[in-house]
Amino acid sequence: MVPPVAWTRTLASLRRGTTCAVAPATLWLFGLSGCADPCLDDGLGQSACPTQDAGTDSAGSSGSSGSISASATDSESATMTAGSLSASGSGSESGTGASDTEASGSSSATADSSASASASSDGGSDGSSSGGGGTLWCPDTDMDGFGDADGCVNADDPPPGTVDNDDDCDDGDPTTFPGAAPLDDRDACMHDGDGDDWGDDAPGPGIDPGSDCDDDDAATFPGAAELDADPTACTRDGDGDGWGDANPGGTAVPGADCFDGNDALNPDTMALGVFVDDPSGDPVFASVDPTDAALTAVAPLDTPGAWNPVSATIDETGTIVVNNDAQNRLYRVDYLGVCGGDPEGETTPAQQAHGIDIFCGISFGQDGVLYGVQNATDELAVLDPLTGLVVSSMPLQQGGAPFDAASCGMTFDCHEQRLLYAHGPGGDIFSLDPATGALTLLADTDLVWSPTGLAYDPIDRVVWVAGDTVLHRIAIDGSNTVEVIGDFDFGPGGDVTVSNLEVLPICG
């Protein structure tokens, strides 16, 4: 029997590889064949180990009655109990020779159910955020696949309504989560309320801002109107024609499309045009070259015998209305059939004649209402385009004083949503309030126009003025900039008097 103290020392020496001067019987009990390299004094009265051939000895045995099992761990500790001794080789103890790995140069002592010694540590389960073990499960109230950091628990199985992450920055909104706006940032936690893949530029607290200037409208986002001057601007293109809404509201950048609810009407499909007689004296619709005022016949028109279209306008649906002063009656004009092969455009009279001698200007306004200025009575009238009759009227006034209409033109500024009025005798451009009849000066020139036509350019945000036979381009930004473009003509020496002027559809 080996004394208890010797047991303890021997086990410690085994772990360190310093089984110095240990009796062969003792080594046999632990499944060892001899000492390792020379070592320091192990306390058993010998200062160094004898030389050992590591490649020749191997042993493994077990006791015959009872057992005492010992397990040596990295803490170099072992605990023994009384009883018979048993040892079995399981843990590798390798020397310097190659045969060490082949021989049973291993030792392990294991405590049985009556006595044991062990040391262990548990690193926790995957997904654990604390020492409780299990996976981190977080509530996903809005069911967008991303969890709320508040209320997370560790568990082996997911509690109902949870997910294995805490990445949601607003768990009360299923349109807010990491990657909600991939066109802004594939990883940022953003709000995309309209589903256009762009993030709200003014979200709530804790949410990353995106670049969508109207996150309630899927037609509004950066680059929505790629044909506008800035194709990257956050604009609204409601009809998907590539041109941005001229009056989108909110913080969206205004585009150049005055009719954003109709993809057939935009700067690509419309141009400056007039209703005139061609050199043969036949009534036509003609386009106007904005660089020199040259006229090009687009469509011949089937007109009544008396035809003098002094003013023209168009609404959101593409309906073109002219005032035929020869009959004091409104007409609808449709000439686009010529683009498809029809021989001439159609003119359709309103149900009744309005009977007013000269509406010098007509225009559809912000609300789709048709307005006209009566230069005989100096009034602003509301007209019904179907019946052709005057619905109501009010006096024109400037600064509270009555205003003489004289020769005039009208159009609509789709950016500022206002009626524009050109006054021929004074060479002035005004805005016209349809609720009060009040005129506000926008541009003051030294020109005189008679007759007078007026059209708005939505790309450059200026106006075109037809003054008798000459085309002018005038700024309405307060600068009073005037550019004389040239004479209206179908060729040299054929100047044409123009009283109507508008941006209208052309053949594509």
Q: pLDDT per residue over 403-454, tens digit each?
A: 999 999 999 999 999 999 999 999 999 999 999 999 999 999 999 999 999 9
Residue with tokens 């451009």: 429
Say whether the peptide bond before residue 205 is cis (omega within 30 degrees of 0). no
pTM: 0.72
Range list of β-strands (E), 93-163: 106-108, 135-139, 153-155, 162-163
Q: What is the largest CA-CA distance in the chain?
A: 139
pLDDT value of position 101: 35
Domains with residue ranges and CATH for the chain: 1-120 (no CATH), 270-505 (2.120.10.30)
| Residues whose CB falls within 8 Å of the CB of residue 126, separated by 6 or more in sequence, listed in order | 135
pLDDT value of position 419: 98
Rg (CA), the chain: 48
Terminal C-alpha separation, the chain: 112
Q: Summarize pLDDT for 209-232 with one digit per residue, the tens.
A: 999 999 999 999 999 999 999 999
Lookup: tokens for 263: 């993809």
pLDDT value of position 421: 98
Task: Return the H-helix or E-strand segment holding 395.
Answer: strand 390-395
pLDDT over 70 percentage in the chain: 74
Average pLDDT per consecutive 10 residues, the chain (508 residues; last block may be shorter) = 37 38 39 44 44 40 36 36 35 38 35 34 39 83 95 95 96 96 97 97 96 97 97 98 97 97 97 96 97 96 96 97 97 96 97 94 95 95 97 97 96 98 97 98 96 97 97 97 97 88 94
pLDDT value of position 132: 56
Lookup: tokens for 250: 């909110």
- Complete DSSP assignment for 460-508: TTEEEEEETTEEEEEE-SSS--EEEEEE-BSSTT-B------EEEE---
Contact 255, 232 (CB under 8 A): no
pLDDT value of position 494: 78
Contact 56, 28 (CB under 8 A): no
Lookup: tokens for 45: 């009265």
Query: Which of 474, 428, 483 lies closest to 455, judged by CA?
Result: 474
